Chains A and B, each alone.
Chain A
Amino acid sequence: MNIDYRQLEQHAQNIRRNVIKMAVRAKSAHLGGVLSIVEILTVLYFQILKIDPQAAHDPDRDRLIFSKGHAGLALYAALVERGFAAEEILETFYKDDTMLTAHPTKDCMPGVETTTGSLGHGLPLGTGLAWAAKHDNQPFRTFVLMSDGECDGGSTWESILFAGHHQMDNLIAVVDYNKIQGFGRTAEVLNLEPFVKKWESFNWAVQEVDGHDLAKLQEVLSQVPFQTGKPSVVIAHTIKGKGTSLEDTLDSHYKIPPEYATDLH
């Protein structure tokens, strides 16, 4: 399959431009963790997920559970870029009477599968969806996009243990490992390392990838399941606040990068 990476790069740029526009206009938080997943969402929505914007509720569609709900505007922008809704909807973000709150709600726009916002909920939900698919011999796969911070939580590890035990190879977790969580670096708050070994020891098949490299993301994500009889996890090494002056800072979780502060008002 020939992949037009220039086209893919263009999609990523459009998403990036839109999320920055939205965050700057809304003065909303969490832009850092939005910018760290732009390429991941681009590859998922344009290359990997078997979805059709015209049939957002097709029972056979692949599911994306957007567990890191605080990055909701990335999801909104990606869905618009993929054609699930017209771009105008993004202008309502954070305004009175909008459907688009910071954390997404099920069906707040076409393509939003589930309500998220409290961390540690996505993987259990996704595991249930994947179980139903197996039970009914349905072909769809369930992807769960997670933050590194939510790997602190017990509910996440409950489902990791469960999915590994039950050999749920139709379940794929993608961890946005930008290494900065709500109030510090993951290495300092609660060190996740050795992260790969943890997942492996829970009977998951693991691949690491540069989460900003479209070609490498494409290569890795197109191989799932990595191993028959095991759930797959992609640990995507990313940079919080990617492409801005707040790259790799805790500030990027809360602040608008100063170079945009005067724009668009």
Chain B
Amino acid sequence: MRPTFIKTLVELAQKDERIFLLTGDLGYAALEPFREKFPKRFINMGVAEQNMAGFAAGLAMSGKLPVVYSIATFVTLKTLEQVRNDICYQNLNVKIVGVGSGLTYSQYGATHHSQEDIGLMRLLPNMKVICPGDPVEVEAATRAMMADPQPCYLRIGSRGEPVLHEPPIDFQIGKGITLRPGKDIALVATGNMLENTMKAAELLRGSGLSPQVVSMHTVKPLDANLLKELFINFQQVFTIEEHSQIGGFGSAVAELAAELHDGRASLHRIALPDQFQKLGAWLARLRQENGLSPEGIAETVRKIYNQTS
């Protein structure tokens, strides 16, 4: 996802001189193409994220279009108040890009596990939250985000994520994309859980279920219309995310569902439990441990389906 993001940003920056890229001293073997092409619009701010976020607000006040880049934890947690007061409160055109979504940096340990960022960013007025599910969505999301005049948080993974869409896709901020039609249940994934959700859907199809798969790449604003349809047309709606079950995508859908009166589906949130990871492990193992492997997702879905159908 990261190489696609940079490639797209370089393309956009070629035509748009307002675009600046700021990094908190990260981006080795990733950001160099931007630095080489636009040395005057690339600033390594040092390991000083609060200054980076406030500085970006200052740039935006002068009509620049800054992109603030770091690992998702650092760029949302260390900077939270700058993002709130300086960027969102003033509704400035600053883009926050967090890499290493969820458990991506598995073996780095819990300091690098981004499991609160969606919740924090979606709490902020004026902020949009986009979590693309594959490189195709990353490119489309980057273009859409840079064309939007408001603050936005883009949550991406690292490198090597598989392409799940057949491009071109119809990507609009706030509009979910249905990848597989189904009849019984709806699996609604955000961000880097799209891959395992697609795989889980295959497993479920193998056992006779007909799951619909939706990529809900935008967590804020939520696609309320599509979700309403899902709650009306399916028995169960599952949200799948690599983020704490508190405050994230599933919570956002639960808030919507709580006020829906014509839906019949029950909602089930598949997410990280409310705890820090105890294991040092690679990503596949960590996901397995947290019920986010394809088999884990399929098993949870099957169990709930059998209980309630």
Query: Contact residues of A with B, CB < 8 Å?
Result: 105-106, 113-118, 120-121, 123-133, 135-136, 138, 142, 154-155, 158-159, 161-162
Chain B residues, Cβ within 8 Å of A125? 54-55, 57-58, 61, 86
Interface residue B179 (Cβ < 8 Å from any Cβ of A):
no
Which 5 A/B pairs are nearest by Cβ-Cβ distance?
A128-B58, A124-B54, A132-B62, A158-B51, A158-B48
> Does A120 lie within 8 Å of B62, measured CB to CB?
no
Quick check: is B289 within 8 A (CB to CB) of the other chain? no
- B53: interface (CB < 8 Å): yes
Chain B neighbourhood of A115, CB < 8 A: 85-86, 89-90
B53/A131 in contact, CB under 8 A: no
- A164 CB, min distance to chain B CBs, angstroms: 12
B149 at the interface (CB under 8 A from A): no
Complex contacts, B46 vs chain A, CB 8 Å: 158, 161-162
Chain B 59-103 interface residues, beta-carbon cutoff 8 Å to A: 59-64, 66, 81-82, 85-86, 89-90
C-alpha spacing A129/B54, complex, angstroms: 10
Q: How far is the CB of A87 from chain B (nearest CB, A)?
A: 27
In the complex, whether B45 has a CB less than 8 A from a CB of chain A is yes
With an 8 A cutoff between CB atoms, is B200 at the interface?
no
- Whether A114 pairs with B90 at a CB distance below 8 angstroms is yes
Q: Are A128 and B50 in contact (CB under 8 A)?
A: no
Question: Can you report 13 A-B residue pairs in the complex whose CB atoms are below 8 A from each other?
Answer: A115-B86, A121-B81, A124-B50, A124-B54, A124-B57, A125-B61, A128-B57, A128-B60, A131-B55, A131-B59, A132-B59, A155-B82, A159-B48
Instruction: Please judge, given known A-B contacts A124-B82, A132-B58, whether A106 and B90 are in contact too, CB under 8 Å.
Output: yes
Let me know if B40 is at the binding interface, CB within 8 A: yes
Using a Cβ–Cβ cut-off of 8 Å, how many residues does chain B contribute to the interface with A?
A: 28
Residue B56 at the A interface, CB < 8 A?
Answer: yes
Q: Which residue of B lies closest to A140 (CB)?
A: B62
What CA separation (Å) do A175 and B41 show in the bound complex?
Answer: 30
Known A118-B81, A118-B85: A154·B59 in contact at CB below 8 Å: no
In the complex, what's the smallest C-beta–C-beta distance from B251 to chain A, in angstroms? 26
- B54 near A128: Cβ-Cβ < 8 Å: yes
Provide the bound-state CA to CA distance between A124 and B48, in Å.
Answer: 10
Q: Are the C-beta atoms of B51 and A162 separated by less than 8 Å?
A: yes
Shortest distance from the beta carbon of A150 to any chain B beta carbon, whole Å: 12
B148 to chain A, nearest CB (A): 20
State whether A128 touches B56 (Cβ < 8 A): yes
Q: A118-B85, A128-B59, A129-B59 are in contact. List 14 more A-B contacts (CB 8 A).
A: A106-B89, A114-B90, A115-B85, A121-B54, A123-B54, A126-B58, A128-B58, A128-B60, A131-B43, A132-B64, A135-B41, A154-B50, A155-B51, A159-B48
Are B61 and A133 interface neighbours, CB within 8 A?
no
**Chain A's nearest CB lies how many Å from the CB of B79?**
9
Check if A127 sits within 8 Å of B85, measured CB to CB: no
Closest Cβ of chain B: how far from A165's Cβ, in Å?
A: 8
Neighbouring B residues of A142 by C-beta, 8 Å: 58
> Given the complex, which residues of A lie within 8 Å of B40, measured CB to CB?
135
Pairwise interchain contact B50-A117, C-beta atoms closer than 8 A: no
Q: Are B63 and A132 in contact (CB under 8 A)?
A: yes
Residues of B within 8 A of A114 (CB): 61, 86, 90
Q: How far is the CA of A117 from the CA of B90 in the complex (A)?
A: 13
Contact flags (1/0) for B109-143 with A, using CB distance below 8 Å? 00000000000000000000000000000000000
